[in-house]
A and B are shown apart, each in its own frame.
Chain A
Amino acid sequence: MSYLSIQDLSVRLRNGLPLLRKVSLDVKAGEVRALVGESGAGKSMIGKAVLGILPRAVRLTGGKILLDGEDLLALPPKTRRQRIGAKAALIPQDPLTALNPSRRIGPQITDRLVDILGWKRPEAEARALELLEEVHIQSPGRVMKSYPHELSGGMRQRILIASAFAAEPKLIIADEPTTALDVTVQKQILKLIREMQERHQTALLFVTHDLGVVSKISQSLSVLYAGKVIEDTDVRAFFDAPRHAYSKALLAATPKYTDPDGSLMPVPDNIIAAVEREVAAFDAQMNE
């Protein structure tokens, strides 16, 4: 039974330009699914649609988003926001802009417990301390009283992970959470996300453009091109033999330090042309 099930989700710019083209995907409880694609492919847009934080310039034009079996789009806005707040959370890309620079860390974690779940302050603070320990922060008491600028990028990302897991959501959307970090810190953070996700049996939708990261974190993946899912498969099958020609080309363009003479092949023009044709044919079919 999928915890998150997206069915034929379409999103367009206000001027009608399609951004997501009937996207369907499922994430089961305890599963990590990666969303892969180049910039502009619509990977973050899917996460935003699920969380109900689409930018004003776009609108949702069709499809269903089932969270825990309930169609979010059929709910009145207020109920929808409450459901999402209680059941889903986001780990954002840039830990510095996601934290309020003028507030201490403690209240930034406890707010969601107090506001969304109606906890009392002291309870929430005790829980925040526990969470900071869970994400391996050495002196949680001191960190609670710190301001974001006093902490390193890795520490800030740990805090956002703690805060995402605070209200025990069953779905987490991670939007390129390690792109701003250097590789050694990235490794620690990926391991931490995986550890937390397994412990809490969370469904995790992990947005990334890095196929190396995909192979470390996820069990399944959806490859997007121009807002269309062109391949939906499990990780082992994908890295053994990607089915779609574009996925193959994407994998060939990814550098590998273990492959000394591996020449890097940019995605060839004929493959771009073919996948563009595929998208155009799909659009034509939709307009009939």
Chain B
Amino acid sequence: MSDLIYQLKDLKVSFPDLSQKPLLGAAPRTQVLKGLTFDVAKGDVLGIVGGSGSGKSTLGRTMIRLLEPDSGSVLFEGSEIAHMNEDDLRPLRKKFQMIFQDPMSSLNPRRQVGGIIAGPMRLQGFDNLSARVNEALEMVGLPKTFTNRYPHELSGGQRQRVGIARAIALRPDFILADEIVSGLDVSSQAQVLNLLEQLVRDLGLTLAFVSHDLSVIRRLCSRILVLHQGEIVENALTANLFSNPQADYTRTLLDAIPLPDPNQVWE
């Protein structure tokens, strides 16, 4: 099956619960992901949705191996990365990138935009850095002059574009976007979503979009994974999920979204 970019099988992740730690000995562990199995096809835009604490960010971070799972398998383009060591992972890392939620804390305040975008490329041994930086800026619709700006000189939407430019500059196959529009105003949010959609199309990216907002997910994603307390409660094509939600939890989520419409009644 060459058209799958990710194959995850029985993925389990737990964290130590330090609030329960005894004076001596190890803290008990809380299961965050309780055995997830699903595939991601190349070119998919996968929405990962769930309430706080559902494990959606943990899942994303495990997929790009910022976290190591307890057990289970993560196949990325056919290679098993679940327990791969950092030296072997390094060459793969340019193929999966991440865009972070808060662009202020994920951009180094002491570096200029050009340096921020070039950083990961330098680590990965790319050449022609300044040409690539310019190209990445152009793709996210920022002028070249921004290479000399500092993050604090930019608006929220512009900062998030820099985060996107840093991720796509490496020409990855897969990008994880973790709640990247939740801190933006609706207008900047619309701009960033439109940009992301265009980049997915132009660059043939596969995207996992973690969000708590089903309205945003519907706009962007082709397939949706609904997580609840560390388990997949629904995995469906976007159109099917909205026309005929299967899981009770999905319906609860849908009912809770406040539509900009005074005729929607909450019972």
Contact = CB atoms under 8 A, between A and B. Distances in A.
Contacts of A260: 218, 239, 242
Contact of A257 (B212, B218, B252): B218
Contacts of A236: 262
A278 to B, nearest CB: 17
Given A239-B262, A254-B260, A266-B187, A184 B193 contact: no
A117 interface: no
A187 B67 CA distance: 32
Contacts of A185: 51
A252 to B, nearest CB: 8
B215 A215 contact: no
Contacts of B186: 38, 209, 211, 250, 253-255
A39 B156 contact: yes
A267 interface: yes
B27 interface: no
Interface string B223-267: 000000000000000010010000000001111111111101010
A266 B185 CA distance: 10
Contacts, number: 107
A193 to B, nearest CB: 12
Interface in B178-205: 185-191, 193-194
Contacts of A187: 255-256, 258, 266
Nearest to A238: B262
A288 interface: no
A18 B104 CA distance: 26
Interface in A235-279: 235-236, 239, 249-251, 253-258, 260, 262-267
A136 interface: no
Given A183-B51, A216-B258, A260-B239, A250 B253 contact: no
Contacts of A184: 51, 252-253, 256
A115 interface: no
A256 B260 contact: yes
B122 interface: no
A253 B254 contact: no
Nearest to B182: A179
A264 B260 contact: no
Nearest to A257: B215
B228 to A, nearest CB: 10
B238 to A, nearest CB: 8
Interface in B80-114: none
B194 A215 contact: no
Contacts of B242: 257-258, 260
A24 B259 CA distance: 28
Nearest to A262: B219
A13 interface: no
Contact of B260 (A153, A215, A249, A263): A215
A239 B185 contact: no
Given A239-B260, A262-B219, A264-B194, A39 B185 contact: yes
Contacts of A25: none
B213 interface: yes
Given A38-B185, A216-B266, A264-B219, A183 B190 contact: no
Contacts of B262: 215, 235-236, 239
A237 to B, nearest CB: 10
A7 interface: no
Nearest to A214: B260
A37 to B, nearest CB: 9
B214 interface: yes
Contacts of A253: 186-187, 189-190
B129 interface: no
B264 to A, nearest CB: 7
Given A181-B52, A255-B218, 4 more contacts: A183-B213, A211-B186, A214-B260, A257-B214
21 contacts: A181-B52, A183-B213, A183-B257, A184-B252, A187-B255, A187-B256, A187-B266, A211-B186, A214-B260, A215-B261, A216-B266, A249-B187, A253-B186, A255-B215, A255-B216, A255-B219, A256-B259, A257-B214, A257-B242, A258-B242, A264-B194
Interface of B: 51-52, 156, 185-191, 193-194, 212-219, 239, 242, 252-262, 264, 266
Q: Give 6 nearest A-B pairs by CB, closest first.
A: A212-B258, A264-B190, A255-B215, A267-B187, A187-B256, A211-B260
